[in-house]
A and B are shown apart, each in its own frame.
Chain A
Amino acid sequence: MSDAAAPTSDRVLLQAAGLTRRFGGLAAVQNVSIELRRGEVHAVIGTNGAGKSTLVNMLSGELAPSDGTIRLAGADITRWSQPKRARAGIGRSYQRTNIFNEFSVFENARLSAQAAHQRVWAFWQGARRCARSGPVAESAIDAVGLTRHAGEPAGILSHGGKRQLEIAMCLATRPQVLLLDEPLAGMGAEETERMLRLLAALKAEHAVLLVEHDMDAVFRIADRITVMVNGEVIATDVPDAIRRNADVRVAYLGEDA
């Protein structure tokens, strides 16, 4: 896995090898390797503190790894800043809702879309009529089902609505890789169903990393599952194999299984 020169499927978009992050003496993530392929939902599961969010933060560029490499479509992006990675096609959503509360739902998505063509010097052109970011934002909002709320301030959306907006903002940056940190957290049954349908549709064009605690959802939608315990990967496999894996049953699924 760590041999980057080895022929990998051309569907592999994001490839992390030997990722380690130490905070002081503590290794939050240790020697984690993971491959995200276009057309796949790759779930990462593990108890709280297993290092899932740290892993996402390293992949998105918010946290520099202490060791290891990250490649996007073959290019080494380990040292790239988060904005540069985002423009190159890595989009992420946040575990704790992280939106522009005082802007309209539309502007939340439009501003995200603007990152792709920033045109800083065109100060005489109004942003709201931006011919490029506007339509992208509209289709992203449409995709998550928030069109009726487009004109409302994002801050007054329901919790589920804000989670949907998170995804819309992520989609508006036109990413190839989606890093979704607990997108289903706190969602009702109906909203969860809609989100799962959306993820299933998105995976055709994207490589999706899904960090999620809802095991029913994970085993329904994931094509591949990585199990983390104490910062390390103990298994990566297809869902059926993970369900049967003795180590996983002992370490994580435990009573649930």
Chain B
Amino acid sequence: MTPNPGRVNVSAAAAATGGVVAGAPAGSIVPPSAGGGPWAAASRPGAPSIASMLVPLIGLALLASVPFFAGEYLQDLVVKIVILAIFALSLELLAGTTGLVSLGHAAFLGIGAYAAVLLAPKTGAGSLPVMLALSMLCAAAYALFVGALSLRTRGVYFIMVTLAFAQMAYFIFHDTKLGGGSDGIYLNVKPMLAGVLDLKDRNAFYFFALGALAVTYGLLAALLRSRFGHALAGIRVNEQRMRAAGFRTYGYKLAAFVLAGALAGLAGFLIAVRDGFVNPEMLAWQESGTVLLMLILGGLGHLRGAVLGALVFTLLKELYSSEGWVGPLADHWQLTLGLTIIAFVATMPKGLIGLPAQLRRRPRPVEAADDE
């Protein structure tokens, strides 16, 4: 508690500095002019512009129309992208916003998926809201455990500790009979919301997954604009300063970690329900690496970058592994995909989302902006 209700009284100080602001009455607490001036300029980037909402909304409308004209192949491909986009968005909250690069994020995806299977009723369909909540809760619980321990480390140690905990979860499912061992386990009846939504139905599942992506995106977009989101960004940029200002940064990072885990659990739930099957490979570290690649490909630090990264990565993988397009090279899609990603990252350091700005800036020589 503050022993004295803090009065800044910098206004007196402002007067003492000799009324620096032209046109502002010395000692004024209120901004110089409400309508314009530097304060308005400072707050403008925060306001959600129509244009910034337009692109996601158009994208959503386009995706919603897919089942009406597309064949099964295309629809399944879109579902795959939608689910991976949710997974990528969940990691974006950690890696892009908070600056916490985790190499164990697939553990939460896998735990969400296994929960959807293992906690489903033995007979009959599970209730959709209950099963969804259980999946996300299980993933969040493991994230709380992993985060509470790993967030005491930093940098490369954080990467290693998250990787270790993910591998631990992987081997639990791989080497014990808990979830059918390395063979995986089947989900017999897909969950449903009686009378409203049966995820057995292809279109029902499609719209449910799309809705999950829209909610995830909307939630994270609101979060990033909020005080919580600004604090996370502050932690990414300068954690020491955040602590000096009075933020318990550990709590913020843990909250972000748990939320990211829960959203990864949502993606895992969708995969389990789509496939009706889960196996331990979902938790493998390669999956954690892949989702990180999607973020880097799309552009770290942007929600749209995460979605774009999931889209482009999936399309490239699809392209390089289909014999119709690349012939015998299809057997070696890891090689071609890997080379492509190296080329992308080398030429677009800010990812695909940063490409327009990069092209605009091209004519001018790169100037050193930072003088430190």
Task: Give A residues with C-beta under 8 Å from B.
Answer: 60, 62, 72-73, 75, 81-84, 86-89, 91-92, 94, 97-107, 111-112, 114-116, 118-130, 133-136, 138-140, 142-145, 147-151, 155-156, 159, 169, 171-176, 194, 197-198, 200-202, 204-205
User: B46 near A128 (CB under 8 angstroms)?
Assistant: yes
Q: Among residues 347 to 372 in chain B, which have CB atoms less than 8 Å away from a CB atom of chain A?
A: 369-372
User: A197 near B247 (CB under 8 angstroms)?
Assistant: no
Mask for B335-346, Cβ within 8 A of A = 1, else 0? 000000000000
- Interface range for B: 35 or more
> Considering the chains assembled together, what is the distance between the CA atoms of A72 and B39 in angstroms?
35
26 sample A-B contacts, Cβ–Cβ < 8 Å, listed by A number: A62-B240, A81-B248, A86-B246, A87-B246, A99-B241, A100-B237, A103-B237, A104-B42, A118-B247, A120-B255, A121-B228, A126-B47, A128-B225, A129-B43, A139-B11, A140-B10, A142-B11, A142-B20, A143-B17, A145-B21, A172-B245, A176-B2, A194-B18, A194-B20, A201-B12, A204-B12
Q: How far is the CB of A152 from chain B (nearest CB, A)?
A: 8
Q: Mark the stretch among B30-38, B121-129, B143-151, B281-289 that contacts chain A.
A: B30-38
Q: Assuming A115-B247, A201-B16, is B231 touching A147 (CB within 8 A)?
A: no
> Considering the chains assembled together, what is the distance between the CA atoms of A130 and B10 in angstroms?
19
Q: Assuming A142-B28, A200-B16, is B1 touching A88 (CB within 8 A)?
A: yes
Q: B332 interface residue, CB < 8 Å from A? A: no
Q: B71 interface residue, CB < 8 Å from A? A: no
Q: B9 interface residue, CB < 8 Å from A? A: yes
Task: Give B residues with C-beta under 8 Å from A.
Answer: 1-4, 6-18, 20-21, 24, 28-32, 38-39, 41-48, 219, 222-223, 225-231, 233-234, 237-238, 240-249, 252, 255, 369-372
Q: How far is the CB of B317 from chain A (nearest CB, A)?
A: 33
Chain B contacts for A138, CB-based, 8 A = 29-31, 39
Q: How far is the CB of B10 from chain A (nearest CB, A)?
A: 3
A98's contact among B2, B10, B43, B240, by CB below 8 Å, is which?
B240
Closest 5 CB pairs of A and B: A128-B46, A151-B41, A143-B10, A201-B16, A115-B246
> Considering the chains assembled together, what is the distance between the CA atoms of A121 and B41 in angstroms?
27
Chain B contacts for A198, CB-based, 8 A = 13, 16-17
Chain B contacts for A127, CB-based, 8 A = 46, 225-227, 229-230
A128's contact among B43, B223, B244, by CB below 8 Å, is which?
B43
Chain A contacts for B46, CB-based, 8 A = 126-129
User: B4 near A73 (CB under 8 angstroms)?
Assistant: yes
Q: Assuming A106-B42, A128-B46, A176-B4, is B226 touching A83 (CB within 8 A)?
A: no
- Nearest to A174 among chain B residues (CB) is B6
- Nearest to B251 among chain A residues (CB) is A120
User: B17 near A194 (CB under 8 angstroms)?
Assistant: yes
User: B3 near A89 (CB under 8 angstroms)?
Assistant: yes
Chain B contacts for A92, CB-based, 8 A = 244
> Considering the chains assembled together, what is the distance between the CA atoms of A60 and B8 in angstroms?
19
B243's contact among A86, A147, A156, by CB below 8 Å, is which?
A86
> Considering the chains assembled together, what is the distance between the CA atoms of A175 and B43 in angstroms?
25
